[in-house]
Structure 1
Amino acid sequence: MKNSVLLVSLLLIVSCKKAVPSQERKTDSVIVSEQRENTSALDSSKINKSNDTLQSVHSNSDENGSTQNGEIVKLIDGERLPSTLECEFTDKIQKVVVRITNYKKDQLKATIMPENNNMNIRFNQIKTPDGKYDGPFGRDISYKISGKGEVALIIGKNLMADGDNIGRFSVRVE
């Protein structure tokens, strides 16, 4: 009995170590489907284009903002803080990048204040002057900044929670 168990276990070990022949090829798992002839092509003139909805309500903010692919970028001079930005998400997939130039303080504090408390929005990441990223955070952030330079706050939908992120909100940066 002992010998047969030993023989079976040796056979299992040897069979598991069997090399895979190099002739076998792995295939890609991408599935290609053809478009039917009766489907209509998307007319680019019918696409709704969203404008920059980020507006400054504080006189210390820089008015240089831009929108690209659902990303709203806003510049603030770090020497003019505290500052409050009035923002609005009009699409489900949007984010705001608040770039704070000339940031010289040791501690950054910021708060998101939505008009609707059930709005699903948070600080997703922070980029420090040394190029490192950290996050995610909640609606409030208090972060120790090492070094001087540009800090970026990335605000968007919390993908780990339910809820809609369309609506108006304010961002207070100190």
Structure 2
Amino acid sequence: MKNFCMLLLSIFFFSCQQKEIKKNPVPVSDSVSVIEKENIEKNKQIGDTIVLNFKNEKGLYVAEGSLDSIHPRVYLKFKNEDSGEINAKILPSTGKGNIRFNQIIFPDQSSDGPFGMDLKINLTQKGNHILVIGHSQMADNPFWGKFNVELEQKKQ
């Protein structure tokens, strides 16, 4: 019986030992910055915001976003360095839908809107601008789903 107890105890101790696994840990700050750089370069939606930093080969800011019950509005943030005109379009994935540019917020916190699916406006202020995209509350059937946005800046 003594031998049997000793055998059980030794099996118990050996089975409880954990092996040390050696990994090359990636610093958290490095992995987060890589993910942020990828998202910025592709103009991706993070939460309810799309930061437009990357132009495509045609010189347009292009981004894909989505509206759902959690994010009924999407905020496009872009920086305007020079006075000029912007042309923007919303292209819903379904072809048509109750979606529009609700508002533009200027650097001095003044705003203008609402607009339609196309926007053409002169910008006289330099700085960060915000375009608010959502559905028209005056119409039925709010838009839920994916859409693409194209924004072109023209200097004067």
Give the TM-score taking structure 1 as reference length: 0.56
Q: CA RMSD in A?
A: 2.7
- Corresponding residue for residue 121 of structure 2: 143
Amino acid at match of 2:52: I
- Corresponding residue for residue 74 of structure 2: 96
Amino acid at match of 1:99: K
Pick aligned residue for 2:50 from 74, 88, 97: 74
Structure 1: gaps spanning 5 or more residues: 1-57
Pick aligned residue for 1:128 from 83, 87, 106: 106
Deviations 1:80-132 (A, max 9, x none): 85111111223276110001024424111100001223411100000123321
Deviation of residue 171 (structure 1)?
A: 0.5
Amino acid at match of 2:94: N
- Corresponding residue for residue 97 of structure 2: 119
Structure 2: gaps spanning 5 or more residues: 1-38
Q: Secondary structure at the match of 2:116?
A: coil
| 8 A Cα contact 1:92 1:165, kept in partner | no
| 8 A Cα contact 1:101 1:151, kept in partner | yes
Query: By percentage of residues, which structure has more helix?
Result: 2
- Runs of 4+ with >4 A deviation: 58-63, 78-81
Work out the CA distance in 1 between the residues paired with 2:98 and 2:50.
21
Give the TM-score taking structure 2 as reference length: 0.62
| 8 A Cα contact 2:99 2:143, kept in partner | yes
| 8 A Cα contact 1:110 1:140, kept in partner | yes
Amino acid at match of 1:87: G
Work out the CA distance in 1 between the residues paired with 2:76 and 2:99.
15
Amino acid at match of 1:66: I
